[in-house]
Structure 1
Amino acid sequence: MKHIILIVLGTILAGAAHAHPDHADAGMRQEAAAMAQAAGEFLATLDEDQRARVLFDLGDTEAREGWSNLPTLRAPRVGLQIATLNAEQRVALHGLLARSLSSEGYGDAMHIMSLESLGRARIETAIAERGEDMPDEMRARAQAALAAANPENYWIRIFGDPASGTWSLVLDGHHLAVTSTVVDGRITFAPVFLGNNPQTIPSGAFAGRRSLQHELDRVADLMASLDESQLAELVQSQDRREAADFAGPGWVPDMEADAVGLSAADLSDDQMLMLHAAIREFIGVATMSAADARLAQIETDGLESLHLAWWGDHDDLSEPFMLRISGPSLHIDFAREGQSGDANHFHIVIRDPSNDYGENWLQAHYEEAHAEE
């Protein structure tokens, strides 16, 4: 009964926020206006060459979908690199990012970026330990990796004109790729990639500091509640390496293929609330109104329409695993990467099969604009 109430509430919210771009609620319109203003302030600090690097046509699908979770050494980026910005420009950029994400989402993004400094320190230590014994070819690779492991190696791309009310923003770099799209006052956040290595910092001044912990905790709560029959449906393999392909760049929704595992319709009311809490945690990177609207759409589709699938050890969540939550308007892949006993590394991707990159909204926007000509 409890999850039925949630679905009814979601339907009411979705009726206001999802039927049409003109029906975006006041909170989301305010957030969209703040994003556009911050984008304009950031663009105003840039010179002509920087503007040419950061601005793209909204129809440039290759650049919009060309994000990656890989280090920049393995996947070069396009756009405007944060490393090239002066102090004034960085202040303006962070004004834009802070208004384009929730407080938690902004904090997660900044922490993920800062972890590149730890990667850099590990490489420096390895080079120092090998000293002159390190072969030239290995040293060259290490030096290249050292240059890439940098908290400033993140790129910004802006598609379209923020002042027009229809545009998109991409923040892209190692373990972090966030795409937000604004269409006539509505905001969508998909796809989003969040990762970390390490998830828990093992030593130094910030020893014990964790990222993406709440996501893990919500999943752990749900997993601990499942009975044997539910686990039998959920677990596809005890081996993380046998998991389905991660929904990264180039992913194409396949509702039939993804509808495997445990149906959410087979969850109890309490378990449904746990699933709801987990989903809310994952999509909480978005601004408040955008996250609320996204959750309302998922509830309108029906939480019972979701499927959950698991690969890996379900008894010990410190070991490598992958969880997939999939449905008509939500696809989440959450993986703990690494080797047994050393899986201190998360990958999370959040996608919207019904409106990835805001494509459905953009199509409706273009059709209406064409009809008015």
Structure 2
Amino acid sequence: MVVDQIRAATQDLLAALTPEQLKKISAPFDTPDHQVWTYLPGAVPGLPLHELSAAQEALAVRLLELVYSERGLADFRGVMVAEIIVRGLKDPLQVAETGGWEGSTVGDRYYFRVLGDPAGDEPWAWRLNGHHLALHVTLVDGAISFTPQFFGSNPAEVRTGPNAGRRFLAAEQDLGFQLLHALEPGQLEIAVVSDEAPDDILTRHDPVADPSRLHRGLPYGDMNADQRQLLSLLIGQYVGRAAGPIGLQTWQDITDQGIERLTFAWAGQTQPGEGHPHYYSIAGPTFLAEYDNTQDNANHIHSVWRDLRNDWGTDLLAAHYAMHR
């Protein structure tokens, strides 16, 4: 069972750490800052990745491999590659692409933390936070919560130098434009909610996402079959970062809550290109995703997936505490 594997992999990682490292990585599950998170640069609580030895890093990667799909891992490494490029670092790109965080100047921007005791019976969690990256996994009674989840990239596309032409989180942009351009004029009047894109995702890094900040947009139920397929593929860019069983459960939840109630809203420029800021949101009863590419002359991506019912394992925890009251 994947939950048991995640539990064992986390215990293996903790057992390999020094006492000083354990102090940095560990916190109680009910720590006051449990739901405090950010995708902005700067130090956050936890153990910096660059302090892991090669052997410890292999254990951390094993844990990521249990929770994330191959594409999810590729996106994770892409965030770090973009960080290397934008900072003009001398580290070889292999630092982020194949591992090797130890002593690297990119690993100092990402922090691993374990909340609670993975060896016990009570709820626990682990998280990996840093610039343009926020991964949160909560485990309760054999079930998993996978959100909030944030992936960003600066640059979105490398425009100069030896890596010119390389793109990050490209499908999130391309599928968004494909869906927009597949809509009929009457549908566009509903889907395009503003000529100006917001300067960031509207839910920011709030502990609890507020869907009322978003425009409603065009419902899935008002799309034709081809348009629905494109929206499903776009949702898959977010859900598909999760390992198979976790992603399948998310799709089941979306379907159970009424996929026809999902809406697609667009703001900003309707053609891609340098200096063309754009934004979209996908929202439903339980699922919310936002994407923007507005900063740095529209070459700086933010994207987030929130579960309106179960961020931080909220529903799972409610059931757990009701059972054990």
The alignment's TM-score, normalised by the length of structure 2, stands at 0.88
Does residue 150 (structure 1) correspond to residue 120 (structure 2)? The answer is: no
CA distance in 1, matches of 2:41, 2:190: 36
CA-CA distance at 1:244 after TM superposition: 8.1
CA distance in 1, matches of 2:7, 2:317: 17
Quick one: structure 1 residues 245 and 114, their matched pair in 2 at CA, closer, same or farther if it must change by over 3 Å?
closer
CA distance in 2, matches of 1:42, 1:282: 27
Does residue 312 (structure 1) correspond to residue 271 (structure 2)? The answer is: no
Q: How many aligned residue pairs are there?
A: 312
Quick one: structure 1 residues 200 and 273, their matched pair in 2 at CA, closer, same or farther if it must change by over 3 Å?
same
Q: Is contact 2:291-2:304 (8 Å) kept?
A: yes
Does residue 275 (structure 1) correspond to residue 231 (structure 2)? The answer is: yes
CA distance in 1, matches of 2:16, 2:62: 12
Structure 2 SS opposite 1:161: coil
Structure 1 SS opposite 2:315: helix
CA-CA distance at 1:98 after TM superposition: 2.0
> How much identity, in percent, do the aligned residues show?
31
CA-CA distance at 1:278 after TM superposition: 1.1
Map 1:1-373 → 2, pairs under 5 A: 30-62=1-33, 64-72=34-42, 76-121=43-88, 150-164=106-120, 166-241=123-198, 246-250=202-206, 252-256=208-212, 258=214, 260-316=216-272, 319-338=276-295, 342-370=297-325
Alignment partner, residue 100 of structure 2: none
Residue type of the partner of 1:69? Y
Q: Is contact 1:332-1:348 (8 Å) kept?
A: yes
RMSD: 2.4
Residue type of the partner of 1:54? I
Please list the CA deviations of residues 38-94 of structure 1 after superposition, one character each: whole Å capped at 9, or x if unmatched.
1111101112221121111112251x322211111xxx3011111222222222212
Residue type of the partner of 2:315? N
Residue type of the partner of 1:363? A
CA-CA distance at 1:154 after TM superposition: 0.5
CA distance in 2, matches of 1:103, 1:61: 33
CA distance in 1, matches of 2:111, 2:56: 13
CA-CA distance at 1:270 after TM superposition: 2.1
CA-CA distance at 1:316 after TM superposition: 3.4
Q: Which has the higher Rg, Structure 1 or Structure 2?
A: 1
Which ranges of structure 1 fall in alignment gaps of 5 or more residues?
1-29, 124-147
Structure 1 SS opposite 2:3: helix
CA-CA distance at 1:348 after TM superposition: 0.1
Q: Is contact 1:263-1:308 (8 Å) kept?
A: yes
Quick one: structure 1 residues 70 and 46, their matched pair in 2 at CA, closer, same or farther if it must change by over 3 Å?
same
Residue type of the partner of 1:153? R
